[in-house]
């Protein structure tokens, strides 16, 4: 007897609805759910690979404790005892700051981690908080926070209604969209093109998305700020600024034009490698389209000017009148957990940064965290406040953060490390205790973060497909237990959970809920008190958890709608178009005009449909097929180096080196080499039997020197890194 069940995929930001065919505990097939109100049947190979993930014999199901340098299986009680014995002692002796935390990407996808991770961080009370956000999107969060007043009020392209989409440094045909939840990008792009619209891509590489575009312009890595500033300059210079409905909602508009005088297209053309006339035309096309959206992603964030770029993207959206209008970039309204639907409408406290500074590098905290690239130095550098213990939660910074080899050495010197993770991998092999999370299919699902970034408003909730092992706690229970252990509090997890729910619930609401514990109870509270909710009777037709349980296809809440000024949480109640830190940072961009262009080869990154950062290489269905871990290089650059298709190349950075097989292609610009990240599974003490068969090289073994991160956001420079490439003989 087979059974059909539905569930939202928790792997990437696209949040596709999946259809599972089950026979008992066995997964017979996984397909896209055609009835899903958001993804309409789209699926990618990683969604199909959930079966292999669920069945992976290397995926941990029992805690591990390191004894005499080797992991041994332990009971949950033994694992918690070990932590109780060692972690609080370090905190008592050396202070709270002696514990560091690193949280990785699955924290944005798995509901347990998303909703309860902060409870542990609060209990630890350490300033030494690091996450993958500073290897990723922190610049966009910072620029958006400064402009709109909260950390997740980020304008996303309304692709279903736009006629001109300008994409810089994103490859949504492969990544399936990022900081922009847009399942089935290809389908939506085709519809855009069918209605006569155009997409133009700016990227040093003719990416898959560039190939599907109507226009493509290669750019020298790290120079997007110049291009964007020159486009804004052109809008003023050619009288194309049209603020439309935004005019009355802006602060600082008058400061923009004078600040841009140095950035004419003619001044930036050589550094960007884009003709000045092309830059002017891009600005005209943006202004001329009746609905247009500018979108910048990884490639624009992970460089020295990440925050400035992210801001300039929205400056262009504002100057062309495209922010907050249909077919422009818009602000989603999530059904639960959105800061920008809470509190007073149209006004708020805004965001604050720099409430504390990192010990070694004196870097300001941004959104409560320090730059991930500074983790190693905080462990290595002796003195008061040195990190001596680490808690890693669903992260693999040894492969994901630049300077991975250095970090690995540092992790080996810790007094104690706990990892909440599902594999013994390049990072968790340094742990003293590993606590495994349940399979994603054994957990309920709701996208706490990604619904706030979605190109259409919908609400979808999934129940677990399978029961977890009765011995194994849910990840939210593990997080609460750890919180109690480090504070020495009552370790009764359900009492703690009740207190959390009570702190969020309106008077008398808890009794009215159908769910009595865990993430689902918080989701139910979030939905019912949220902008579409039934308000516990106030709005009887409103959304409830029952409705979503009854219909796993989800509820469509309609296209994105205008939200300015109601969405704003700035103290002024206006969009801050010229925030002081960004205006000041324009000076640094001006210096770039005086700096000679970087010489030699520059390395950029890439993703592939069959990978997900560092951690899905162990799944047979994704691992089969051609080698994905290659160094792409232009034939003109390869020839003098003696590199042919298939030759092993050594890539040396300012610090560190790695090896990768060469792939000769004209898709990359001359002067650029392109290497994927997340590979390098050759450490002996990991337990990734499939991944180890094709380990690849770790492009993050290299760390850039000098500017390692964008000084405003602390976000790592991952693209445009100068490298020397040689053939390995």
Ligand X SMILES: Nc1nc2c(c(=O)[nH]1)N[C@H]1C(S)=C(S)[C@@H](COP(=O)(O)OP(=O)(O)OC[C@H]3O[C@@H](n4cnc5c(=O)[nH]c(N)nc54)[C@H](O)[C@@H]3O)O[C@H]1N2
Interface residues with ligand SF4 (CB under 6 A) are 9, 11-12, 14-16, 43-44, 46-47, 176, 183
Q: CB neighbours of 594 closer than 8 A, spacing ≥ 6?
A: none
In 3D space, the residue among 555, 515, 534, 139 whose CA is nearest the CA of residue 311 turns out to be 139
CB of 418 to ligand SF4, least distance (A): 28
Number of H helices and E strands in the chain, helices first, is 24, 26
Of 153 and 207, which has the nearer Cβ to ligand X? Answer: 207
Among the listed residues 19, 136, 369, 710, the single contact to Mo ion using CB under 5 A:
136
* DSSP H helices in 131-184: 138-148, 172-175
Query: Torsion-angle region of residue 273: left (phi > 0), alpha (psi -120 to 50) or beta?
Result: left
* Site for ligand X contains 464 (CB under 6 A): no
| CA–CA dist 455, 444 (Å, integer) | 23
Report the partner that residue 700 touches, choosing among Mo ion, ligand SF4, ligand X, none (CB closer than 5 to 8 A by kind).
ligand X
Q: Rounded to the nearest 10 degrees, what angle do helices 138-148 and 306-319 cross at?
A: 50
State whether the Cα torsion 715-350-328-448 is positive or negative. Answer: positive
Binding mask 346-385 for ligand X (x = CB under 6 A): ----------------------------------------
Choose between 14 and 246: whose C-beta lies nearer to ligand SF4.
Answer: 14
CA distances from 280 to 162, 202, 233, 275, 313 (A): 21, 14, 9, 9, 16
State how far the Cα of 729 lies from the Cα of 713, in Å rounded to an integer.
41
- Candidates 425, 457, 472, 715; binder of ligand X (CB under 6 A) is 425
17 binds, among ligand SF4, Mo ion, ligand X, none (CB under 5 to 8 A by kind): none
Which string of DSSP letters, residue by residue, matches 268-319?
HHHHHTS-HHHHHHHHHHHHHSSSEEEEE-HHHHSSTTHHHHHHHHHHHHHH
Distance CA 57, CA 332 (A): 40
* Least distance between ligand X and beta carbon 46 (Å): 6
Nearer to ligand SF4, 38 or 295 (CB): 38
Closest to Mo ion by CB, 136 or 637 = 136
Stretch that binds ligand X, among 93-101, 165-173, 353-361, 543-551 (CB under 6 A): 165-173
Q: How far apart are CA 424 and CA 430, in angstroms?
A: 9
Task: Output the CA torsion 333→334→337→343 (10° steps).
Answer: 20
- What would the DSSP string read from start to end of 574-591? SEESS-HHHHHHHHHHHH
Q: Is 697 in the site for ligand X (CB under 6 A)?
A: no
Q: Rounded to 10 degrees, what is the CA torsion of 384, 385, 386, 392?
A: 160
Which residue lies nearer to ligand SF4 by CB, 45 or 565?
45
- Does residue 397 bind ligand X (CB under 6 A)? yes
Say which entry of Mo ion, ligand X, ligand SF4, none residue 15 contacts (CB below 5 to 8 A, set by partner kind). Answer: ligand SF4
Tell me if 13 contacts Mo ion by CB under 5 A.
Answer: no
Phi and psi torsions of 367, nearest 5°? 50, 35
One of 170, 273, 371, 711 touching ligand X (CB under 6 A): 170
Indicate the SS3 state at residue 223: coil
Task: In angstroms, give the least distance from the CB of 276 to ligand X.
Answer: 18
The 439-458 contact track toward ligand X, x by CB under 6 A, reads -x------------------
Give the Cα separation of 143 and 146 in Å (integer). 5
Q: Does 710 engage in binding with Mo ion (CB under 5 A)?
A: no
- By C-beta, is 251 or 694 nearer to ligand X? 694
Nearest to residue 255, comparing CAs of 587, 568, 577, 593? Answer: 577
**Distances in whole angstroms, Cα of residue 191 to Cα of each of 182, 194, 204, 456, 593:** 13, 5, 26, 15, 40
Q: How far apart are CA 555 and CA 412, in angstroms?
A: 49
Stretch 85-124: interaction string toward Mo ion, x if CB under 5 A: ----------------------------------------
- Contact with ligand X (CB under 6 A) among 159, 219, 235, 527: 219
| Stretch (H or E) spanning 103 | strand 99-103
Instruction: Output 321 or 720, the one with its CB closest to ligand X.
Output: 720
For residues 33 and 128, which CB has a smaller minimum distance to ligand SF4 in the complex? 33
Of the candidate residues 297, 359, 429, 456, the single one contacting ligand X (CB under 6 A): 297
Establish if 589 lies at the interface with ligand X (CB under 6 A).
no
Of residues 65, 91, 99, 132, which one binds ligand X by CB under 6 A? 132
Residue closer to ligand X, measured from CB, 280 or 607? 607
DSSP state letter for 674: E
Question: Which range, of 42-50, 128-136, 517-525, 698-706, touches Mo ion by CB under 5 A?
Answer: 128-136
Q: Tell the smallest beta-carbon distance from residue 19 to ligand SF4 (Å).
A: 11
The only residue of 79, 124, 135, 483 in contact with ligand X, by rule CB under 6 A? 135
Q: How far is CA 26 from CA 29, 58, 133, 439, 470, in A?
A: 9, 18, 35, 14, 18
- The dihedrals phi and psi of 99, each to the nearest 5 degrees, come to -105, 130
Select the binding partner of residue 410 from ligand SF4, Mo ion, ligand X, none (C-beta < 5 to 8 A, by kind).
none
Site residues (vs ligand X, CB under 6 A): 12-13, 104-106, 110, 132, 135-136, 168-172, 174-176, 178, 202-205, 207, 219, 221-222, 224, 297-300, 303, 394-397, 400, 420-423, 425, 437, 440, 475, 604-609, 611-615, 677-678, 699-700, 718-720
Site residues (vs Mo ion, CB under 5 A): 136
């Amino acid at each position: 007897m087979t059974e059909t069940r539905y569930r939202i995929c928790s792997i990437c930001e696209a949040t596709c609805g999946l259809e599972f065919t089950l026979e008992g505990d066995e997964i017979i097939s996984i397909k896209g759910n055609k009835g899903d109100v958001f993804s309409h049947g789209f699926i990618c190979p990683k969604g199909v690979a959930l079966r292999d993930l669920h069945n992976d014999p290397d995926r941990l199901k029992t805690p591990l404790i390191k004894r005499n340098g080797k992991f041994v299986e332990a009971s949950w009680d033994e694992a918690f005892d070990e932590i109780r014995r060692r972690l609080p002692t370090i905190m008592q002796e050396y202070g709270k700051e002696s514990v560091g935390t690193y949280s990785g990407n699955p924290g944005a996808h798995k509901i347990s981690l998303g909703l309860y991770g902060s409870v542990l961080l609060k209990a630890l009370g350490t300033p030494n908080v690091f996450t993958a956000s500073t290897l990723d999107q922190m610049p966009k969060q910072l620029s958006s926070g400064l402009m709109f007043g909260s950390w997740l009020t980020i304008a996303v392209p309304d692709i279903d209604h736009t006629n001109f989409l300008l994409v810089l440094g994103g490859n949504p045909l492969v990544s399936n969209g990022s900081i922009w939840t847009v399942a089935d990008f290809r389908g939506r792009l085709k519809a855009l093109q069918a209605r006569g619209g155009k997409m133009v891509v700016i990227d040093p590489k003719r990416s898959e998305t560039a190939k599907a575009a109507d226009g493509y312009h290669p750019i020298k890595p790290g120079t997007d700020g110049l291009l964007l500033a020159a486009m804004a300059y052109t809008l003023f210079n050619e009288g194309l600024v049209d603020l439309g409905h935004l005019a009355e909602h802006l602060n600082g508009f008058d400061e923009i034009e004078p600040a841009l005088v140095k950035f004419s297209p003619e001044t930036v053309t050589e550094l960007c490698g884009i003709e000045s006339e092309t830059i002017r035309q891009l600005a005209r096309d943006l202004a001329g389209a009746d609905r247009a959206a500018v979108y910048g992603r990884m490639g624009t964030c992970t460089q020295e000017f990440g925050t400035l770029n992210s801001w300039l993207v929205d400056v262009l959206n504002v100057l062309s009148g495209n922010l907050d209008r249909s077919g422009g970039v818009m602000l989603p309204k999530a059904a639960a957990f959105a800061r920008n639907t809470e509190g007073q409408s149209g006004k708020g406290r805004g965001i604050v940064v720099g409430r504390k500074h990192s010990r070694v590098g004196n870097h300001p905290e941004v959104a409560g965290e320090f730059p991930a690239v500074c983790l190693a130095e905080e462990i290595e550098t002796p003195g008061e406040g040195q990190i001596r213990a680490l808690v890693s939660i669903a992260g693999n910074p040894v492969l994901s953060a630049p300077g991975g080899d250095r970090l690995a050495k540092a992790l080996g010197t810790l007094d104690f490390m706990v990892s909440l993770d599902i594999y013994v991998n390049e990072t968790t092999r340094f742990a003293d205790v590993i606590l495994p999370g349940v399979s994603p299919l054994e957990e309920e699902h709701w996208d706490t973060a990604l619904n706030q970034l979605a190109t259409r408003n919908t609400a979808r909730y999934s129940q677990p497909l399978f029961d977890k092992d009765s011995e194994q706690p849910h990840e939210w229970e593990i997080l609460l237990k750890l919180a109690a252990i480090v504070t020495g509090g009552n370790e009764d997890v359900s009492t703690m959970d009740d207190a959390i729910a009570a702190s969020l619930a309106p008077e008398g609401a808890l009794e009215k809920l159908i769910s009595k514990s865990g993430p689902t109870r918080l989701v139910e509270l979030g939905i019912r008190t949220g902008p579409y909710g039934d308000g516990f009777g106030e709005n009887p037709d409103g959304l409830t958890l029952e409705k979503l349980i009854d219909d796993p296809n989800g509820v469509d809440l309609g296209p994105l709608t205008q939200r300015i000024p109601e969405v704003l949480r700035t103290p002024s109640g206006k969009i801050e178009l010229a925030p002081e830190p960004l205006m000041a940072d324009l000076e640094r961009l001006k210096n770039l005009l005086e700096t000679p262009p970087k010489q030699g080869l520059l390395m950029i990154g890439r993703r592939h449909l069959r990978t997900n950062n560092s951690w899905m290489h162990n799944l047979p269905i994704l691992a089969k097929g051609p080698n994905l871990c290659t160094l792409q290089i232009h034939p003109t650059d390869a020839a003098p180096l003696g590199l042919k298709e298939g030759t092993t190349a050594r890539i040396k950075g300012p610090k560190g080196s790695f090896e990768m097989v060469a792939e000769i292609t004209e898709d990359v610009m001359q002067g650029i080499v392109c290497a994927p990240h997340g590979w390098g599974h050759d450490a002996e003490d990991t337990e990734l039997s499939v991944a180890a068969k094709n380990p690849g090289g770790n492009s993050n073994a290299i760390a850039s020197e000098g500017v390692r991160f964008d000084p405003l956001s602390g976000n790592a420079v991952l693209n445009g890194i100068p490298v020397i490439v040689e053939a390995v003989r």
